[in-house]
């Protein structure tokens, strides 16, 4: 299980005449993060800076990066990245675009502006818990259909159905709960249902 943002969000904030535009979305890979950052750099090519940060955890691998994009070192990308860490988010990318308004903010002011814009974007998007899922294929008789579907929804979701002389359900079950699902399946159907893949 990990936490990420529930949707794509954009927020706009003003700090002493400078405009900061925060963008956030969930991602599954570093390639997806880079594509999102490059897209926004193209969209906001007239901006002074497009500061970014992302954190990805996949299969025990961790990728954590931030970029000040020309702002003083440590003043912008790092504070945005720290927001991801403090909120316990992974598989999330944030880009904060800055249009300079003529008044210098100083190191502390810059850090605060980038951090507050990142926080606002994340709050706008909302935080959700995502469970890693395992694919299983369950084979059983028609008579057990309703009880097995209910069980599958209790542990995850049904992703596919096949009907012949027996029923096959493709099921996604939360990682770590496969044994509990298998035990309940056995008890529920008196060992008539079988997990044939997974």
pLDDT for 69 beyond 70: yes
Digit-coded pLDDT (tens) for 41-59: 999 999 999 999 999 997 7
pLDDT for 60 beyond 80: no
Name the CATH topology of 133-197. Alpha-Beta Plaits (3.30.70)
CA distance 168 to 141: 9
CA distance 65 to 3: 18
Average pLDDT over residues 8-12: 97
Identify which of 50, 51, 127 has the alpha carbon closest to the alpha carbon of residue 86: 127
pLDDT for 196 beyond 70: yes
CA distance 4 to 93: 9
Provide the percentage of residues in the chain whose pLDDT is more than 90.
87
For position 197, what pLDDT does the model report?
A: 78
Average pLDDT over residues 71-93: 97
Could you give the residue range(s) of every CATH 3.30.70.240 domain in the chain?
133-197
pLDDT for 177 beyond 80: yes
Q: Give Cβ neighbours of residue 120 (< 8 Å, ≥ 6 apart).
A: 11, 13, 22
For position 175, what pLDDT does the model report?
A: 86
pLDDT for 118 beyond 90: yes
Per-residue pLDDT band for 198 (boundaries 50, 70, 90) equals low
Greatest pairwise CA separation for the chain in angstroms: 74
pLDDT for 40 beyond 90: yes
Mean pLDDT across the chain: 94
Phi-psi region of 145 (alpha: psi -120 to 50; beta: other; left: phi over 0): alpha
CA distance 51 to 190: 58
Identify which of 2, 5, 13, 1 has the alpha carbon closest to the alpha carbon of residue 120: 13
Find how far residue 33's CA is from the centre of its chain.
11
pLDDT for 61 beyond 90: no
Extended beta strands in the chain, E state: 2-5, 9-15, 18-26, 49-58, 61-67, 92-99, 127-130, 133-140, 156-163, 167-174, 194-197
Per-residue pLDDT band for 6 (boundaries 50, 70, 90) equals very high
Digit-coded pLDDT (tens) for 148-161: 999 999 999 999 99
Could you give the residue range(s) of every CATH 3.30.230.30 domain in the chain?
2-130
Per-residue pLDDT band for 96 (boundaries 50, 70, 90) equals very high
Domain 2-130, CATH: 3.30.230.30
Per-residue pLDDT band for 173 (boundaries 50, 70, 90) equals very high
Q: Give Cβ neighbours of residue 152 (< 8 Å, ≥ 6 apart).
A: 138, 158, 169, 171, 173, 181
């Amino acid at each position: 299980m990990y936490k990420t943002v529930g949707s794509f969000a954009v927020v706009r904030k003003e700090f002493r005449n400078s405009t900061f535009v925060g963008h956030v979305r969930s991602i599954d890979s570093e390639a997806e993060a880079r594509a999102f950052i490059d897209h926004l750099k193209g969209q906001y090519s007239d901006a002074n800076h497009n500061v970014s940060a992302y954190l990805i955890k996949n299969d025990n691998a961790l990728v954590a990066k931030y970029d000040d994009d020309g702002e003083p070192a440590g003043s912008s990308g790092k504070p945005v990245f720290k927001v991801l860490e403090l909120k316990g988010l992974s598989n999330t990318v944030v880009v904060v675009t800055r249009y300079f308004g003529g008044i210098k903010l100083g190191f502390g002011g810059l850090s605060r502006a980038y951090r507050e814009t990142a926080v606002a974007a994340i709050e706008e998007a909302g935080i959700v818990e995502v469970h890693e899922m395992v694919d299983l294929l369950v084979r059983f008789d028609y008579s057990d259909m309703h009880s097995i579907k209910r069980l599958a929804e209790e542990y995850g979701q049904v992703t596919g159905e096949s009907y012949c002389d027996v029923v096959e359900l493709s099921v996604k079950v939360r990682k770590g709960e496969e044994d509990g699902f298998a035990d309940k399946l056995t008890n529920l159907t008196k060992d008539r249902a079988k997990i044939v893949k997974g």
